[in-house]
Amino acid sequence: MSLLKPAVPYPVKVLSVEALTKHIKEVVENDTLLSSVWVQGEISNLVKAASGHCYFTLKDDKAVLKACLWAGNRRYISTDFKNGDLVMVYGSISLYAPRGEYQIVVTDLRPAGIGALYEAYEKLKNKLQAEGLFDSERKLPLPFLPKGVGVVTSSTGAVIKDIFRVIRRRFKNMPIYLVPVKVQGEGAAQEIVTGIKRLNADSRVDVIIIARGGGSLEDLWAFNEEPVARAISDSRKPIISAVGHETDTTIADLVADKRAATPSVAGELVVPVKEDLEELIRQKTMRLSRMMKSIFTIQKQRYDNCAQCRFLVKPSLLVAERRNNIMNLSRELDTGFKTFIDNIKHRFELLNARFMVLDPKSLLRRGYIMATDEKGKVITSVKKLKKGLGLKLGFSDGYAGVTVDEVVKLSEGDK
């Protein structure tokens, strides 16, 4: 007995592979759910092309998904990523027609779980900012030339090597005191706090560097914990924070007295260049030497001039000369005062003589008579007289009353 295959209708329309793929592409790319979607997975098969584009696969334990990140979007993503990283990507699902494969075109990429950590970061940041821990007024200035530099970081890795290399290059014999600590993972924050307190109690240290290399938000989390921020704020010595890359910003960076973009920059900030200081000291020493020589020459010249002064050689000469001057001045003062008195007396006598000449009584004593009317008004003209008018005639030793009997006016020719 043979089995009959079910009848299949004769194809009315046959699609090409291209047409079918194009149709599926339109369906996928027009789906609103697939046009903006977050997908979480582990990165594998990562390829970073010279053009700046990135190609990789997102996978979990049951499926894989192709992904591409164009260079135009890559420059806006600050997070670094590599094979094995668990990430969340945001983008749209697209179909690559030549191979009939669908993929996600990524526009954003973040470490998985960053949402909760970032929320905790922002919450603590706002709390400490409200308390004034970020204010510039409370930040301590860095010493110009510390007697010793304390470093709180891991004892292994490139960070401590970079700090040592830069400080030794700038100031070869600058003492460096390392407190090795864990910089990530459980217990790291407490070790960092202990290291800061230990260096604060060390009298050999004037400035402290806390440092760590770059990493994800989770890797740097120890420097975002409140105990570390409090320890930095309570430090009596200035602290430089050199945590992560330049694009990473931790709570420790915000609270620290100075932030360095990298551990190497922290080494440059903490000490000056010894050769530059030595050159400056040489220049200042030469300038001071020239000034001292100039001052010595001037003072010696003044001394020589003083040594040649007869008054300084024999001070009694100066006293005698001053005594003679005082005696001469005294005599001149006496003579001048007498002359002044004589001039005043002479002027007084002249004025008195003029006064006596103008005194009416003086004229009366010389035989003149002064006629006044009954009211005592002096008669100066016959025009004021009339017959029968009573007059008083004043003499030098008295007066006599008379009556006018006749008034004779002189003509112009008789005057």
- CB count within 10 Å of CB 408 equals 6
pLDDT at 413: 59
The alpha carbon of 171 is separated from its chain's Cα centroid by a whole number of angstroms, namely: 28
> What phi and psi values does residue 358 have, to the nearest 5 degrees?
-85, -5
What was the pLDDT predicted at 171? 93
Side chain identity at residue 6, one-letter code = P
Question: Which residue type is seen at 186?
Answer: E
Do residue 175 and residue 45 come from a single domain?
no
**213 secondary structure, DSSP code:** -
What single DSSP character describes residue 380? -
Q: Tell me, yes or no, whether 95 and 158 share the same domain.
A: no
195/252 same-domain check: yes
CA angle 173, 179, 185 (to 5 degrees): 140
C-alpha–C-alpha distance, residues 267 and 163, integer Å:
5
Burial annotation 280-305 (CB, 10 A radius, 16+ → b, else e): eeeeeeeeeeeeeeeeeeeeeeeeee
The predicted structure's pLDDT at residue 1: 45
In a shared domain, residues 103 and 130:
no
Instruction: Report the 10 Å Cβ neighbour count for 200.
Output: 16
3-state class of 192 per DSSP?
helix
**pTM score:** 0.50
Among the three residues 239, 272, 305, which one is the final residue of a domain in this structure?
272
Of 253, 242, 256, the closest CA to residue 121 belongs to 253
- What's the confidence (pLDDT) of residue 166? 95
Question: What local confidence, expressed as pLDDT, does residue 63 receive?
Answer: 85
Residues 209 and 230 in one domain: yes
Q: What CATH number corresponds to the domain at position 149? A: 3.40.50.261
Distinct helix (H) and strand (E) counts, the chain: 13, 13
pLDDT for the residue 27:
78
List the pLDDT tens digit at each of the 415 positions of the chain: 445 556 566 666 777 777 777 777 777 777 766 778 889 888 888 999 999 999 999 988 788 899 999 999 888 887 778 887 888 899 988 887 777 788 899 999 988 766 667 778 888 999 999 999 999 999 999 999 999 999 999 998 899 999 999 999 999 999 999 999 999 888 999 999 999 999 999 999 999 999 998 877 778 889 999 999 999 999 999 999 999 877 778 999 999 999 998 999 999 999 999 999 999 999 999 999 999 999 999 998 888 888 787 777 778 777 888 888 999 898 899 898 999 998 999 898 888 877 776 666 666 667 677 778 777 787 777 777 777 788 787 776 777 788 877 777 776 655 5
Same domain, yes or no, for 108 and 124?
A: no
Q: What 3-state DSSP class applies to 45? A: strand
In a domain, 43, yes or no: yes
Give the domain extent around 223. 117-272
